[in-house]
Amino acid sequence: MRKTLVGVVARDPQKNSLRVEIDRRMKHPKYGKIIRGRTVCHVHDEECVARKGDTVEIVECPPKSRLKRWELVRVVSKSASVGVE
């Protein structure tokens, strides 16, 4: 069983690389206040289908490079804004 997560693409700096952020909310153990946290995953995107702002599903894999430990499974939803280059 490999772990799967759903997050938002924060950056797409190079051809086959993505930086995906998984946001989470948790209750502080002592004070009870709801605090936000995030996990940053570096993802391998073989077909270069995801862009910044897209919601994607990722799965863990053996290391592809120094930081990349995740692979793109599918794009759940595309971003609403389209950037002009």
How much is the pTM? 0.83
- Give pLDDT tens digits for 22-43: 999 999 999 999 999 999 999 9
Architecture of the CATH domain 4-77: Beta Barrel (2.40)
pLDDT at 84: 54
Sites in the chain below the pLDDT cut of 50: none
pLDDT at 13: 87
State how far the Cα of 66 lies from the Cα of 80, in Å rounded to an integer: 32
pLDDT at 79: 84
State how far the Cα of 28 lies from the Cα of 49, in Å rounded to an integer: 37
pLDDT at 1: 86
pLDDT at 85: 55
